[in-house]
């Protein structure tokens, strides 16, 4: 069957299932999901990830679980804003790789762009192989209530554009050199590994909070910071005047420069940026030589940033589904070329 027909019948099946779902996402049964299989060998429902996403109906209200077989997927992926409740899941991040090669020329340039709310990514590697000659985003996250588990993100400059919305990252590996976690999202990173490949003058974060009224910023809790050399990276520099970043209970190697933070050549930002540490450890965590405008947080100050309450996560983070619904018989026959 031609791909257009396949996608059409699959969309009809999904739409029919979605019509039976609750009109309110808050009352949805998240233990069950419709499963779509992506397999480059042709044994699944689609061979490309984007084709599976395209088959999901607009204004979807049902959990959709797109199960991706191991392989290297050379695709540029967009999850549109009108298609919430999608999960993209591999089995192991090292064997399920989404890759592209493009500099940051437009908002369409990232390897993967998540514009939808209530998205989950699991066990994926997302990379941009553009190299060190300029900005190149591997992942852009611009939806609200988005979570990633056990994923790996690779590029050089601006690897992860944590753009807008509330986001959660757990057990993820993030690699880059210059501002490789950037944007104006409100994000909690738990037990993540941040690795700088900068040989000199690198920065891990460039958070873009522009006003004290914005409830945005990055919090790293129980993470690990490594690099390729001694004193080769700072923890952050202010893309926005009110940039806000906190590291708590995090191990830092000597790759972290003694000063810890950089004002990006604008001393005025020293008065407005909020950069702090709480009970970090390791040779790169020493506070004695940090810039004077960074903070050693008290228990009370840190408590705002170090739990899921920071992103209201207890209201929207959910366990993966345990039951899966297959397509209608018509869709299964169609995908096998009959009907």
Is-catalytic flag, 144? no
Residue by residue, what is the 3-state secondary structure of 315-338? HCCCCCCCEEECCCHHHHHHHCCC
**Secondary structure letter of residue 57 according to DSSP:** P
Tokens of 166: 């509330």
Q: Which residues, other chains included, contact 187 with Cβ-Cβ below 8 Å and sequence gap of 6+? A: 162, 166, 167, 168, 169, 217, 218, 219, 311
Q: 104 by DSSP, 3-state: which?
A: coil
Strand partners, 113: 78, 140
Strand partners, 296: 277
Is-catalytic flag, 158? yes
As a whole number of angstroms, the distance between CA 172 and CA 86 comes to 19
Q: Pick the catalytic residue: 179, 210, 266, 286? A: 179
Q: Pick the catalytic residue: 118, 158, 162, 163? A: 158
As a whole number of angstroms, the distance between CA 73 and CA 84 comes to 22
- Catalytic residue numbers read 158, 179
């Amino acid at each position: 069957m031609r791909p257009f027909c396949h996608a059409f019948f699959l969309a009809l099946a999904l739409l029919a299932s979605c019509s039976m779902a609750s009109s309110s996402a808050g009352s949805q049964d998240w233990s069950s999901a419709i499963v779509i299989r992506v397999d480059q060998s042709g044994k699944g429902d689609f061979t490309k990830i984007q084709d599976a996403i395209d088959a999901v109906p607009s204004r979807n209200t049902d959990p959709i679980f797109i199960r991706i077989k191991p392989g290297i997927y050379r695709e540029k992926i967009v999850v549109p804003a009108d298609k919430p409740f999608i999960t993209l899941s591999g089995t192991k991040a090292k064997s399920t790789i989404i890759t592209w090669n493009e500099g940051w020329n437009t908002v369409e340039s990232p390897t993967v762009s998540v514009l939808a709310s209530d998205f989950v990514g699991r066990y994926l590697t997302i990379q941009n192989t553009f190299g060190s000659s300029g900005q190149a985003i591997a992942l852009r996250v611009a939806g609200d209530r988005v979570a990633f588990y056990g994923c790996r993100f690779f590029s050089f400059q601006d690897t992860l554009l944590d753009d807008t919305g509330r986001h959660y990252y757990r057990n993820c590996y993030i690699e880059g050199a210059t501002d490789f976690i950037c944007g104006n999202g409100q994000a909690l990173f738990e037990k993540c590994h941040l690795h700088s490949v900068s040989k000199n003058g690198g920065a891990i974060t460039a958070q873009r909070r522009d006003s004290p009224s914005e409830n945005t910023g990055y919090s790293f809790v129980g993470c690990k910071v490594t690099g390729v050399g001694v004193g080769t990276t700072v923890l952050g520099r202010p893309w926005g005047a009110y940039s806000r970043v906190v590291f708590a209970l995090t191990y830092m190697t000597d790759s972290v420069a003694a000063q810890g933070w950089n004002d990006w050549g604008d001393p005025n930002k020293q008065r407005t940026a909020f950069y702090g540490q709480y009970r970090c450890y390791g040779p790169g965590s020493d506070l004695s030589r940090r810039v004077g405008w960074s903070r050693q947080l008290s228990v009370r100050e840190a408590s705002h940033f170090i739990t899921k309450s920071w992103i209201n996560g207890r209201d929207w983070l959910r366990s993966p589904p345990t039951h899966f619904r297959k397509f209608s018989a018509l869709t299964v026959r169609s995908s096998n070329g009959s009907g």
